[in-house]
Amino acid sequence: MAKKKTTFVCQECGNESPKWMGKCPACGRWNTLVEEVAMTGKSSRHTFQTTNETKSKPEKISSIELKEEARIETAMPELNRVLGGGIVSGSMVLIGGDPGIGKSTLLLQVSSQLADKDLPVLYISGEESAKQTKLRADRLGVTSDQLYILPETNLAHIVTHIENVEPKFLVVDSIQTVYKEEVTSAPGSVSQVRECTSELMRIAKTKGIPVFIVGHVTKEGSIAGPRLLEHMVDAVLYFEGEQHNTFRIVRSVKNRFGGTHEMGIFEMKERGLEEVLNPSEIFLEERSKGTAGSTVVASMEGTRPVLVEIQALISPTAFGNPRRMATGLDHSRVPLLMAVLEKRAGLLLQNYDAYVKVAGGVKLDEPAIDLGVAVSIASSFRDQVPKASDVLIGEVGLTGEIRRVSRIEQRVQEAAKLGFSRAVIPTRNLEGWTAPDGIEVVGVETIKEAMQITLEN
């Protein structure tokens, strides 16, 4: 019989230690080591085989045959885009987000859509009773005989019901509530999350069932539990949004069956989440024209161009140290661009507070928005109104040059579709393509030249 021994496991990174320590030696966090009972001897963990062969053998890469992965499309094209074209059979997808952001609502709607295609769906709710789930389903208009609700947290019972129902789609909400009896630690601990996810992965691969698991997030915004959880699954989706804002954004940060950094935009309404098929129009519908400090940039979110408004407010500081605040973009980019404007464009900004915001609640992190941010700051400082029909695209270098960006054609086409009459882009991006009808393309080489073109006198 296997012997029991006590180990101390870090609840942040999963590092194991034979004795308790106040600080984890791996991740450096304090008071995260928790005592757990581990089994020694023969491991009880399950392994899985994706084929009928008991042993694998080396193969030449040129002789390996590829076949198209069968995908299950939902009734939400935005979600299909984030997943890379649909749900792959046998895949495991982890979705995380803040409490109340809409994770359960989204998965219940997807479950209903698949059940309407006569695909048996098993929805395992570890946080709500069957009646509570039914109340939400009635509010969302979910009625299907192929959708099964199971309020259960014991993994052994869950596996039994999976064998009986034989679903084609499985949802676990959430993985932190599920526990395995053989593991002595509490539900949500590193050991429980690791073992339960491994068992669900075995079921997904051997039976070809797509599995969606919901993960809690920490106060820092990352998915709770060991980092191993994100490495085990096939795709990781993050549900973003503000509680006071109706828009929700689903981002793909890992996807073994498609591209990463794709984005799907939804709007939370009374009857659930609805897709936003043209996010650029939504983000620009409340744009204030004829105001200093407001510009429009074209950002790429995966394969989709999105036009958003950049707002900047420059005001004299009342303290010794000027404030630099940014919402929706990297905080370090604002002081960097202000330093470039001081050195290369002659703007004396050292005694001014700067507040920069991306309107609409979206977060942008690509360098192609630098030109729009810099012109917004200069516009607010000089109190000069940018031309409302301009869209600004370009990366700003430390010497004040405007550098080339990728996918310029898609960005300009999106601007032309929304009625913008001029696009200010890097000069090096002018070659190799033809601008669409109805929009003028102007190339600039320096930030000073861009300010002269875009700011009205």
Is the pLDDT at 132 greater than 60? The verdict is yes
Average pLDDT over residues 28-47: 66
- Report H helices in 233-369: 279-284, 333-345
> What pLDDT is attached to residue 34?
82
- Whole-model pTM: value is 0.77
pLDDT at 367 over 50: yes
Residue 122 has pLDDT above 70, yes or no: yes
Does residue 11 have a pLDDT over 80?
Answer: no
Output the CA angle 230-68-96, nearest 5 degrees: 20
Distance of alpha carbon 152 from alpha carbon 135, whole angstroms: 18
Considering only CA atoms, give the Rg of the chain. Answer: 26
Q: How far apart are CA 134 and CA 429, in angstroms?
A: 54
Which pLDDT value is given to residue 376? Answer: 96
DSSP 88: E
**Pick from 76, 131, 69, 151: nearest CA to 107:** 76
* φ/ψ bin of 280: left (φ > 0), alpha (ψ from -120 to 50), beta (otherwise): alpha
Helix (H, G, I), strand (E, B) or coil at 9: strand
* AA letter at 91: S
The residue ranking higher by pLDDT, 172 or 242, is 172
* Residue 245: per-residue pLDDT: 72
Q: What is the arithmetic mean of pLDDT over 27-36? A: 83
Section 376-402 average pLDDT: 95
Residue range 239-255: mean pLDDT, rounded: 82
For the chain, give the mean pLDDT. Answer: 88
Distance of CA 424 to the CA centre of its chain: 29
Residue 375 reports pLDDT greater than 50: yes
Spell out the residues 6+ positions from residue 351 whose beta carbon is closer than 8 angstroms to its own.
316, 317, 322
Pick 428 or 259 by higher pLDDT: 428
Q: pLDDT above 70 covers what percent of the chain?
A: 91
Quote the tokens at residue 282: 């939504």
**What pLDDT is attached to residue 219?**
65
Q: Give the list of residues 6+ apart from residue 66 with CB closer than 8 angstroms, or none.
A: none
| pLDDT, average across residues 161-186 | 92
Q: What percent of the chain has pLDDT over 90?
A: 57
- List of residues 6+ apart from 128 with CB closer than 8 A: 104, 136, 151
Q: What is the mean pLDDT of residues 154-179?
A: 94
Chain mean position to CA 11: 23
Those residues whose C-beta lies under 8 Å from the C-beta of residue 313, and which sit 6 or more positions away, are 293, 354, 355, 356, 380
Does 311 have pLDDT greater than 80?
A: yes
Instruction: Give per-residue pLDDT as tens, 280-293.
Output: 888 888 887 888 99
Q: Note whether 211 and 203 are within 8 A (CB).
A: yes
- Supply the pLDDT for residue 51: 44
Q: Is the pLDDT of residue 49 over 90?
A: no
Residue 407 has pLDDT above 80, yes or no: yes
Residues 277/283/286/290 CA torsion (nearest 10 deg): -130
Q: Average pLDDT of 338-348?
A: 94
Q: Which of 232-241, 296-305, 349-358: highest mean pLDDT?
A: 349-358
Q: Name the residue among 383, 456, 389, 393 with its Cα closest to residue 426.
A: 393
Q: At what angle do helices 333-345 and 447-454 cross, to 10 degrees?
A: 90
Cβ-contact 159, 207 below 8 angstroms = no
7-11, 30-34, 260-264, 324-328: range with highest mean pLDDT:
324-328
Which residue in 281, 333, 342, 282 sits closest to 312, CA to CA? 333
For position 44, what pLDDT does the model report? Answer: 47
Closest by CA to 284, choosing from 418, 147, 375, is 418
Residues 6+ apart with CB under 8 A from 25: 15, 17
What integer is the mean pLDDT of 374-397?
95
Q: Which residue would you say has higher pLDDT here, 392 or 5?
A: 392
Q: Inter-axis angle of helices 370-382 and 447-454, to 10 degrees?
A: 60
169-173 vs 121-125, strand pairing mode: parallel
Both structure tokens of 270:
């009374």
